[in-house]
């Protein structure tokens, strides 16, 4: 679900080095299907040209409240009435101070003040030096803006253009895009805590070798992101994959099935939904050698024997909370053939209300997938789509069943 498609946004730039990120944000918003009207303050024009923003947004840029292009000469009214949200990125310390006091001496601040409070969201992405950000005046302004109903996004942390290091960088365009998607996502899981397992597990043979599988973790990460966007508090127990953690999601990194089991058990008593998406190794080597197993030149291969790993999903699904319905469990089935029959049998065996079947070889590592949802009523197909779209649909299905 791309919640930005069809939305109309005013992208406001105030003065700051981070204006370069606004160019990328504009491009990403247009790519996501939003229409973007750029408005720049005079200070912003020192950092970025209106030409660049016009080219990226496909619309002429507004910079002045005296713009004669508007027949009634009221750009601040006309532009703010059409918008679903005004996004000020970057929002300088000065611009936020201005917003706080309701000052309106340039087009952008005028528009923010003139916007209809109940239909046009105001979202600001602060960008400044770390000392400016930490200053009590700025922190007081941020707190008051939030109290006034302005959505002040977090700041990033790291190297700053001034050479210092700390809090105050503007979020990256992709992070702002993510937060904007979340603003427009219906909060179907508000107040719920969702626990997701994702990725493969790795079972060590010795310190440098092990057995694992081809799961990329993409589906589980997409589910965690979708649940967070739907308003849930999300914990993600992830096997060894290098995917970035979705914004706002708490990630607990694990390696083996055993560690995954422990991490799940430490959380599961306080969650409302458990989605077991991980491709957990069914077996692990019976012993893991302390040192690397060396070839001795004789051509003899090591004898490996295996023991079965705990079944995390089945254990959780058989708990009293799951059996009473207080915990909603969702399982996955990665099959190679006869999906409906295997998924139906697996749902019964694992005792879960909802089981999501997919064909392992055609999904592992891919960005898209096709799902078969199996519950007590029967089976529903979710046709091939991006994993993120499928994850959004799955979260909507889960929310409907809670």
Residue 263 in contact with ligand CTP, rule: CB under 6 A: no
**Complex with ligand CTP: residue 91 or 333, whichever CB lies closer:** 333
State how far the Cα of 395 lies from the Cα of 376, in Å rounded to an integer.
18
Residue 332 in contact with ligand CTP, rule: CB under 6 A: yes
Structure tokens at 63: 């910079």
State how far the Cα of 344 lies from the Cα of 335, in Å rounded to an integer.
12
Among 311, 375, 393, 397, indicate the residue that binds ligand CTP (CB under 6 A): 311
Contact set for ligand CTP, span 279-308 (CB under 6 A): 280, 282
Residue 202 in contact with ligand CTP, rule: CB under 6 A: no
Residue 44 in contact with ligand CTP, rule: CB under 6 A: no
Residue 168 in contact with ligand CTP, rule: CB under 6 A: no
Strands 165-169 and 156-159: antiparallel
Q: How far is the CB of 357 from ligand CTP (least distance, A)?
A: 8
Which range in 49-57, 84-92, 161-169, 326-334 contacts ligand CTP by CB under 6 A?
A: 326-334
Among 18, 25, 79, 257, indicate the residue that binds ligand CTP (CB under 6 A): 257
Q: How far is the CB of 311 from ligand CTP (least distance, A)?
A: 4
Q: Are 121 and 84 in contact (CB under 8 A)?
A: yes
Residues near ligand CTP (CB under 6 A), total: 15
Q: What are phi and psi of 137, to 5 degrees?
A: -65, -45
Q: Are 360 and 278 in contact (CB under 8 A)?
A: no
Which range in 130-138, 143-151, 291-299, 310-318 contacts ligand CTP by CB under 6 A?
A: 310-318
Residue 331 in contact with ligand CTP, rule: CB under 6 A: yes
Q: How many CB atoms sit inside 10 A of residue 133's CB?
A: 19
Looking at the DSSP bridge assignments, the partners of residue 196 are 236, 275
| String of DSSP letters for 349-391 | HHT-SEEEEEEGGGTTT-SEEEEEEEETTEEEEEEEEEHHHHH
Active site (annotated) includes residue 329:
no
Beta strand residue intervals within 51-171, DSSP E: 85-91, 121-126, 151-152, 156-159, 165-169
Residue 334 in contact with ligand CTP, rule: CB under 6 A: yes
Residues forming contacts to ligand CTP in the complex (CB under 6 A) are 197, 257, 276, 278, 280, 282, 309, 311-313, 331-334, 346
User: Could you list the active site residues?
Assistant: 162
């Amino acid at each position: 679900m791309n919640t930005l498609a069809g939305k109309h946004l005013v992208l406001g730039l105030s003065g700051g080095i981070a204006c370069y990120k606004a160019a990328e944000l504009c491009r990403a918003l247009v790519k996501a299907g939003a229409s973007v009207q750029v408005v720049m303050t005079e200070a912003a024009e020192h950092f970025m040209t209106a030409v660049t923003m016009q080219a990226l947004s496909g619309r002429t840029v507004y910079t002045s409240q005296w713009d004669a292009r508007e027949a009634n000469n009221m750009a601040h009214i006309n532009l703010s009435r059409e918008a679903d949200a005004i996004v000020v990125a970057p929002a300088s310390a000065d611009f936020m101070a201005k917003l706080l006091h309701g000052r309106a001496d340039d087009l952008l601040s005028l528009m923010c003040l003139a916007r209809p409070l109940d239909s046009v969201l105001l979202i600001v992405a602060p960008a400044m030096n770390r000392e400016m950000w930490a200053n009590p005046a700025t922190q007081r302004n941020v707190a008051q803006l939030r109290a006034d109903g302005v959505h002040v996004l977090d700041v990033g942390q790291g190297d700053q253009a001034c050479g210092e290091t700390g809090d105050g960088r503007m979020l990256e365009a992709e992070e702002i895009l993510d937060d904007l998607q979340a603003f427009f996502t219906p909060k179907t899981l508000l107040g719920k805590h969702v626990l997701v397992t994702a990725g493969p597990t790795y079972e060590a043979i010795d310190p440098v070798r092990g057995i694992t599988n081809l799961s990329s973790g993409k589906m589980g990460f997409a589910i965690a992101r979708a649940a967070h966007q739907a308003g849930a508090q999300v914990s993600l127990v992830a096997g060894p994959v290098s995917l970035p953690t979705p914004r706002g999601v708490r990630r607990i990194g694990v390696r083996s099935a055993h560690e995954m089991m422990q991490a799940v058990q430490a959380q599961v008593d306080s969650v409302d939904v458990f989605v077991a998406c991980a491709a957990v190794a069914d077996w692990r080597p019976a012993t893991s050698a302390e040192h690397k197993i060396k070839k001795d030149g004789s051509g003899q291969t090591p004898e490996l024997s295996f023991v079965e790993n705990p079944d995390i999903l089945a254990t959780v699904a058989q708990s009293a909370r799951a059996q009473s319905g207080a915990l909603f469990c969702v399982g996955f089935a990665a099959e190679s053939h006869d999906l409906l029959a295997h998924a139906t049998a697996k749902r019964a065996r694992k005792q879960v209300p909802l089981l999501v079947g997919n064909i392992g070889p055609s999904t592992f590592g891919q960005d898209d997938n096709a799902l078969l949802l199996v519950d007590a009523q029967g089976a529903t197909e979710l046709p091939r789509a991006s994993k993120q779209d499928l994850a959004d649909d799955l979260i909507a299905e889960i929310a409907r069943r809670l």
